[in-house]
Amino acid sequence: MSRAVDLPGAAHLVLADGVVHLDPEPAVFEAMLEGWARQQRTRFLNEEATIKPRVSLVRRFAEFSNQYPWQWAPAEVEAFFDHLRTRNPQLAVSTARNYQNALRLFCEYATDARYGWPRTCADRFGQVPVQILHEWNTIVHTSEYEGRSGRRPLTYDEVQALFDAADARVEEIRRRGRKGALAALRDAMLLKTVYAYGLRRREACGLDLADLRRNPKAPDYGRFGALFVRHGKASKGGPPKRRTVLTVPEMDWVVDVLNQYIDEVRPAFEPAKHPALWVTERRGRISPRRLDEAFDTARRSAGLPDELDLHSLRHSYVTHLIEFDYPERFVQDQVGHAYASTTAIYTGVSDDYRNRLLQRVLKERHADLWEGSP
């Protein structure tokens, strides 16, 4: 075996020299997990969003198998995923693949001689970790989109029904004389903003007042000509991506919504000097969980399918911009997709739009046949 070097996460850097553990197996396992976490931190992976969930999954698998990594075999991981599917038949393929990738990465780390774990395990336990995930026992990637089939863009009528339901909830709370009308009004305005700019939940919650931008090409929109998104989805190991989302004419109704929120609704929360655009009754920043709850409440009131979620509004935004005949590159930049193929996955244009597009192309190619037609 190769001699271990001083790489972050190496066994000799996380295991104390000369210490005799009364229970060596869990001590080595914990050191192994800490070493893997260190190795990921040096790659600038996100602690909360990436490292902790991965470490937690490895612990979960170890508890299920009742074995340590140097004892694992492919049979254990196959039984683990069979158990997951049995307990949750709706487990998404993409989620299962993420689990498998995390376990594969851990095994790659544990079996890499440069980190010293194979030698450490061999010396202490007479066994070494092996890779337990292979092409023949992992999910094959056969489709660009592997999300829930029920998640789709909302139609124009469904978007309107959702917003009507959110607005009606405000009036219902006021009519009953109950608390919460102000929060319900904020939620309705926030949902409309998510759709009008195609925002992800964390992007919307992360907006500050300073992120409201003027667009010199659209002076009529005033301070709401664009939104500067600073908390876009990050690539692995990278910081959150930034982009400017322009207010499009078809969504310019959001200017009045935001004007009312800034001038009347937000001050009523008494946020003092808090920078957040969307604030809570406790003068803090609204959370992604609260935003999800606002959507679910409006969805149920509107009688829309359970499969729809907040992210469906982003799908709707992409689809509707395409139907408004915006170039695909413009739509891609608006929503912050690195690849056009990702934007295409989000798009679910209606039959009406496709028929109009077909009719327009036919008219352009056969102009002589269309002359004089109504």
Instruction: Supply the residues annotated as catalytic.
Output: 200, 233, 311, 314, 337, 346
* HSE of 229, CA atoms in CB hemisphere, 13 A: 27
Cβ proximity of 46 and 53 under 8 Å: no
The two three-digit tokens of residue 305, written as one number: 């399918």
Q: Is the dihedral of CA 289, 293, 295, 296 positive or negative?
A: positive
Cα 20 from Cα 283, distance rounded (Å): 52
The residue type of 329 is R
Find all residues with CB under 8 Å of 15, minimum gap 6, and list them. Answer: 27, 28, 31, 120
CA 93 vs CA 88, 100, 235, 284: distances in Å: 12, 11, 21, 36
- 66-89 burial: b if 16+ Cβ within 10 Å, else e: eebbbbbeeebbeebbeebeeeee
* Number of neighbours of residue 170 by Cβ within 10 angstroms: 19
The neighbouring-strand residues paired with 246 are 226
CA torsion through residues 292, 297, 301, 305, sign: positive
Percent helix, percent strand, percent coil in the chain, to nearest 5: 60, 5, 35
In one-letter notation, the amino acid at residue 37 is: A
C-alpha separations of 228 from 132, 189, 316 in Å: 44, 18, 20
